[in-house]
Chains A and B, each alone.
Chain A
Amino acid sequence: MSHFTFVAIAYGVTALTFLALVGWIVIDQRARRAEMADLEARGIRRRSAAGDQDHGK
């Protein structure tokens, strides 16, 4: 392998790892939002959130 190939692979692996991290966080975020939306659609709310609404906050 040429020295350029080692450099290119190093930057490629770094970019892929960052993309994987961002992808993991975005997928996790969407899953959590969907879960919360599903629970709220079934009328299940956090007690503190319900309290906020009760007090007009």
Chain B
Amino acid sequence: MISSAANYMTGLANPTRFLSLVAVAIPWMAGITGVLFAVGLTMAFQAPEDYQQGITVRIMYVHVPSAWLAMMCYTVMAVSALGTLVWRHPLADVAAKAAAPLGAAFTFLALITGSLWGKPMWGTWWAWGDARLTSVFVLFLMYLGLIALYRAMDDPARSAKVCAILILVGYVNIPIIKFSVDWWNTLHQPASVFRLDGPTIHESMLYPLLVMAVAFTMLFFTLHLLAMRNEIWRRRVASMRRQAARAAA
């Protein structure tokens, strides 16, 4: 099984084969994403209001999946960075570069929707003393830094290694985000879904949240594949231009 998975990954190292797979997968993934959002939003707006928070608890159904995706996207980039540095997979750097703007967008959403939830519940839009807020803001800055670094270097071979190292160093922030609510006193409550003793959130709110989280995840992977395809095409165009310039010289 491991060898067949390895063979599959090796096969995907061929960008042309990868592009064929993307062409087949995208319509299905887009359709599934649409259905998941329709079901998730229906469940989210039929779920009961919280006895303390009232209607504002509905912000949870976009805020929490955004925050999870902000961290998952960085994890995808970290695995891609390993793929670049260790296995030298040709698509690993393409995957990391394509994921950065998506991760920035999900982190932006986590910050904005968190502020919009915080103001009516905590009485403040932002608190620098809150470790969760600050560490997620640092994640947002890291995404922006990586996007800038990718854009600043024309040669993908050079930028791939530099960015991969930076991504792996920056991964230290992910466990800090995850465990910040346990390690420090913050405005955020401790984890209520991913706990060793099981979720503490009621099923009537847990299931809509999980469906929305799967919808966000499918949206991420759909957009990621499309962004990877664009990046492969961008590199092909650059390669064709270099080829034409050499032929003209």
**Min CB gap B61→A, angstroms:** 9
In whole angstroms, what is the CA distance A38 to B117 when docked? 49
The verdict on B151 contacting chain A, using a C-beta distance below 8 Å, is no
| Chain B contact residues, majority secondary structure | helix
- Residues in B whose Cβ lies below 8 Å from that of A39: 237, 240-241, 244
| A25 touching B244, Cβ below 8 Å | no
**Number of B interface residues in the complex (CB < 8 A):** 35
**Min CB gap B225→A, angstroms:** 10
**Number of A interface residues in the complex (CB < 8 A):** 30
In whole angstroms, what is the CA distance A35 to B63 when docked? 38
| A4 touching B55, Cβ below 8 Å | yes
In the complex, residue of chain A having the shortest beta-carbon distance to the beta carbon of B220: A21
The verdict on A47 contacting chain B, using a C-beta distance below 8 Å, is yes
- Residues in B whose Cβ lies below 8 Å from that of A33: 233
- Residues in A whose Cβ lies below 8 Å from that of B240: 36, 39, 44-46
- B residues adjacent to A (C-beta < 8 A): 16, 54-56, 58-59, 62-63, 66, 101-102, 105, 108-109, 112-113, 116-117, 119-120, 219, 223, 226-227, 229-230, 233-234, 236-237, 239-241, 243-244
14 of the cross-chain contacts (CB-CB < 8 Å) are A7-B55, A10-B113, A10-B117, A11-B58, A13-B116, A21-B101, A22-B223, A25-B223, A25-B227, A28-B227, A32-B230, A44-B241, A46-B239, A46-B243
